[in-house]
A and B are shown apart, each in its own frame.
Chain A
Amino acid sequence: MTINYIAVKIESFLLPLIGELLTAATLKVQCDKIGTSVEKLTPMHLPELAPRIEQALVIFLGSDRSKRVSKQILEMNISQ
């Protein structure tokens, strides 16, 4: 089994926020929605994935902070 570097990075980012159960489920569901899978996730998918995660966090963090989280996910692309 190959380890997807991007997926692991997003998982490690979401884990402290939403816990183990939701991290795995959220990533899987959102990857399905953008037409890919957790295993096949590439930096190319991040601009589509980040706003979806942002939307999911709004009720907890408010719009401003959720945007920041989204930006941090997008920046994973640059920093890898």
Chain B
Amino acid sequence: MDSQKKIMNEPQAMWLIIITLMVINFIFYKFRIGGPDMLTLVGDLFPVISSLFAVGALIRITFYLKTWDLTKTAWLLLAFGIFCWFLGECSFAVTELALGRTPGVPSLADGFWLCGIFPIITALILFIYGYQRTGFLIGHTSKYIFVISAIAMLEIVLIARIGMPILYTPNLSVLEKVVSLVYPALDMVILMLVFFLVLITSVLGKGLLSKPWKFLVIGFALIAVADILYSFYNWLGAYSTGSYIDMMWNSGYLFIALSAFYQKDLMEKY
């Protein structure tokens, strides 16, 4: 019945949630409503809520894909990776809110983050591998070489600006040094895979198939850039919960959730 027709579809509803959460997040960060304690509370709870959205949406997609194939494996790995990151966000929030201290490096949150990044990297590789098997155009090889070169140069800059100073900081343990260096290095891998997916989705143009991947790319790009900025500011001692970097993480998670909503929407059409 027309009167029972949905006001908006699921991706549109998710857009509304993203905009609402980001506006609320921005207002708290900009105007510091409720003082430092409220800022810490909001800064710790928003990543938990945002990553929970992503986990929920990704798990739903894995149930929606009935046959166990490359596609289901890739989405399942993403769901598992983001679930680990969600646990990392929860552990960070609990440490800061309940125990009243900022987790150092390495912390339990770092452990969850490292557990999550490998399935995520594998999932992104599976998407690229799956696309390569389709026989569709992949674009000019020169563009891929350019991406690899640009990432390699960025990696060199990061090693020089962050890696070397961390390595030669005398009061850091070996474990602290390793974890601090692994973060930006693995983020660079994610960023490179994300750029490959950008090239692929640009070939797909405005086709419906490209939509879920486009938002996945935006989500992971935001998270990877936020991680790199975090490494830099944290090393300078200029990072604290409630920084605008947090908004990049939060919106990254929400865009990953959005991509899962678009994936379900796409599959429902066929």
Chain A positions within 8 Å of B, measured between CB atoms, are 15-22, 25-26, 29-30, 52, 55-65, 68-69, 72
Q: Contact: A19 with B66, CB < 8 Å?
A: no
| Given A26-B135, A60-B209, A62-B267, CB of A18 within 8 Å of CB of B69 | no
A-B contact pairs, 11 of them (CB 8 A): A17-B208, A18-B207, A19-B204, A26-B136, A55-B133, A59-B70, A62-B65, A62-B69, A62-B71, A64-B65, A72-B270
B177 within 8 A of A: no
User: Shortest 9 CB-CB distances between A and B: which pairs?
Assistant: A59-B130, A19-B205, A19-B207, A56-B134, A63-B67, A18-B207, A62-B65, A60-B209, A62-B71
Q: Contact: B66 with A17, CB < 8 Å?
A: no
Within 8 A of A (CB), among B75-94: none
How far is B202's CA from A19's CA once the two chains are assembled, in angstroms? 10
| CB of B124 to closest CB in A, whole Å | 12
Which of A26, A30, A52, A58 is close to B71, meaning CB atoms less than 8 Å apart? A58
Within 8 A of A (CB), among B221-264: none
Q: Which residues of A contact B50 (CB under 8 A)?
A: none
Chain B positions within 8 Å of A, measured between CB atoms, are 65-67, 69-72, 74, 127, 130-131, 133-137, 203-210, 212, 266-267, 270
Q: Contact: B66 with A18, CB < 8 Å?
A: no
* Residue among A56, A59, A69, A72 having the largest count of chain B Cβ atoms under 10 Å: A59
| Given A58-B70, A59-B71, A63-B67, CB of A22 within 8 Å of CB of B270 | no
Q: Contact: A65 with B267, CB < 8 Å?
A: yes
How far is B127's CA from A72's CA once the two chains are assembled, in angstroms? 25
CB nearest neighbor in A for B209: A60
Q: Contact: B267 with A58, CB < 8 Å?
A: no
Q: Contact: A19 with B136, CB < 8 Å?
A: no
| Given A58-B69, A62-B72, A63-B71, CB of A68 within 8 Å of CB of B270 | yes
Q: Which residues of B contact A59 (CB under 8 A)?
A: 70-71, 74, 127, 130-131, 133-134
Q: Which residues of B contact A69 (CB under 8 A)?
A: 270
| CB of B193 to closest CB in A, whole Å | 15
How far is B61's CA from A65's CA once the two chains are assembled, in angstroms? 13
Given A59-B130, A62-B67, 4 more A-B residue pairs with CB atoms under 8 Å apart are A19-B204, A59-B70, A61-B71, A64-B67
